[in-house]
């Protein structure tokens, strides 16, 4: 079951969209976390990931093909985020699972890009690995304190799906030297980092969306999409500013 037609740009766009959504979901907990320290960490990590997404989006043009289409501005289902980010998190355990599992999975993929042969990714993404070190330590610390099993299993499943099938484009890009790790190596890297084995999951790769890198349909909630596209800001803008934005 080979997956054809997907490029390194598609993968970088997926990382960017997911980092953007992770940053937004982190920020939503900046005043809701269990402690003041965790509040501050949520805000700081949110800013980090929003900044990282901008750097990643900026890599698309140098890679030679920007896969973003105009309908991304009106259709949230065109964004390439994981289902885990579709709705705001209601429990701290969801935050911790995303921080420990998904954030670390994205970092593993960035590490794979930096270790690959594509110079623009080597140069622009290297600093992210240093900044992500604190994210990893924060997530691992809370994970070791114990959380509910359901969000943890879901995060693991979506991380493994996101790495892609054994014979998919991630494996192809690894074989071409553009990535330093393929799906199997990425999974092992994630397990090594977290010092735990991934749960056993059965994935129907035939139902998997190779562009969005997820096995289920859906999209982010309307409020988040509006905020993402600046629609919510326009509601509260002064009349003059609103007219200028519309013109």
Domain boundaries, the chain: 8-246
218, with CB counted inside 10 A (0-12, 13-18, 19+), is middle
Closest by Cα among 55, 59, 4, 14 to 163: 14
C-alpha span between 182 and 200 (Å, rounded):
19
Distance CA 135, CA 143 (A): 12
Give which of 63, 47, 48, 87 is closest to 11, Cα–Cα: 63
What's the rounded Cα separation, in Å, for the pair 45 and 31? 13
Q: Which fold has domain 8-246?
A: Ferritin (1.20.1260)
Integer CA distances (angstroms), 209 to 5, 17, 76, in order: 13, 15, 15
| 8-state DSSP, 201 | -
Per-residue pLDDT of the chain (247 residues; tens, 9 = 90+): 344 458 999 999 999 999 999 999 999 999 999 999 999 999 999 999 999 999 999 999 999 889 999 999 999 999 999 999 999 999 999 999 999 999 999 999 999 999 999 999 999 999 999 999 999 999 999 999 999 999 999 999 999 999 999 999 999 999 999 999 999 999 999 999 999 999 999 999 999 999 999 999 999 999 999 988 885 555 555 665 444 544 4
For residues 165 and 159, what is the distance between their CA atoms, to the nearest angstrom?
Answer: 12
What is the predicted pLDDT for the residue at 148? Answer: 93
Distance CA 81, CA 23 (A): 12
What is residue 1's predicted lDDT score, i.e. its pLDDT?
38
* Three-state DSSP class for residue 214: strand
Q: What is the pLDDT of residue 64?
A: 87
> According to the model, what pLDDT value does residue 35 have?
95
Residue 5: predicted pLDDT: 57
The pTM (predicted TM-score) of the whole model is 0.91
Q: How far is CA 101 from CA 31, 139, 226, 245, in A?
A: 22, 8, 27, 39
Q: Which two tokens stand for residue 174?
A: 């690894």
Q: Name the maximum alpha-carbon separation found in the chain.
A: 56
pLDDT on residue 245:
47
- Which residue shows structure tokens 């070190």? 133
Q: How far is CA 92 from CA 25, 56, 88, 135, 210, in A?
A: 11, 28, 11, 16, 30
Residues with Cβ within 8 Å of residue 141, at least 6 apart in sequence:
none
Return the structure tokens found at 142: 């809370």
Nearest alpha-carbon partner for 44 in 23, 62, 19: 23
pLDDT at 15: 98
């Amino acid at each position: 079951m080979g997956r054809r037609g997907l490029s390194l740009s598609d993968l970088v766009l997926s990382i960017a969209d997911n980092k953007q959504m992770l940053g937004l979901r982190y920020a939503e907990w900046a005043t809701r976390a269990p402690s003041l320290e965790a509040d501050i960490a949520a805000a700081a990590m949110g800013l980090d990931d929003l900044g990282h997404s901008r750097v990643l989006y900026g890599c698309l043009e140098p890679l030679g093909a920007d896969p973003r289409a105009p309908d991304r501005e009106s259709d949230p289902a065109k964004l390439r985020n994981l289902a885990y980010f579709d709705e705001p998190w209601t429990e701290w355990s969801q935050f911790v699972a995303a921080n420990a599992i998904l954030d670390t999975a994205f970092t593993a993929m960035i590490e794979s890009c930096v270790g690959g042969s594509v110079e623009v990714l080597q140069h622009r993404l290297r600093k992210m690995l240093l900044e992500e070190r604190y994210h990893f330590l924060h997530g691992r610390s809370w994970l070791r304190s114990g959380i509910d099993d359901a969000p943890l299993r879901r995060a693991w499943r979506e991380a493994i799906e996101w790495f892609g099938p054994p014979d998919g484009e991630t494996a192809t890009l690894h074989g071409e030297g553009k990535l330093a790790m393929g799906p199997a190596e990425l999974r092992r890297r994630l397990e090594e980092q977290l010092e735990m084995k991934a749960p056993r999951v059965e994935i129907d790769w035939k139902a998997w969306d190779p562009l969005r890198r997820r096995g289920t349909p859906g999209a982010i909630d309307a409020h988040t999409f509006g905020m993402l596209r600046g629609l919510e800001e326009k509601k509260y803008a002064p009349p003059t500013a609103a007219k200028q934005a519309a013109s």
